[in-house]
Amino acid sequence: MVTGMAKKPDLLPGTLDMLILKTLTRTPLHGYGIALSIKRFSDDVLTVEEGSLYPALQRLLLQGWVKAEWKMTETNRRARFYTLTAAGRRQLGIEASQFEQMIAAIGRVMSDTQEA
Q: Which residues contact another protein (rule: CB under 8 A)? A: 1-2, 4-5, 30-32, 35, 49-52, 54-55, 58-59, 62-64, 70, 77-80, 87
Measured from the CB of residue 101, what is the shortest distance to another protein in angstroms?
25
Q: How many angstroms separate the CA atoms of 3 and 59, rounded?
A: 21
Cβ closest to another protein, residue 74 vs residue 115: 74
Query: Least distance (Å) from another protein to the CB of residue 76?
Result: 12
| Alpha-carbon distances, residue 55 vs 16, 51, 105 (angstroms) | 11, 8, 30
Concatenating the DSSP letter of every residue in 28-62 gives -EEHHHHHHHHHHHTTT-----GGGHHHHHHHHHH
Nearest Cα to Cα of residue 52 among 99, 7, 5, 91: 5
The distance of closest approach from Cβ of residue 47 to another protein in the complex, given in angstroms and rounded to an integer, is 9
> Closest distance between another protein and the C-beta of residue 5, in Å?
7
Is 54 or 101 the residue whose CB approaches another protein more closely? 54
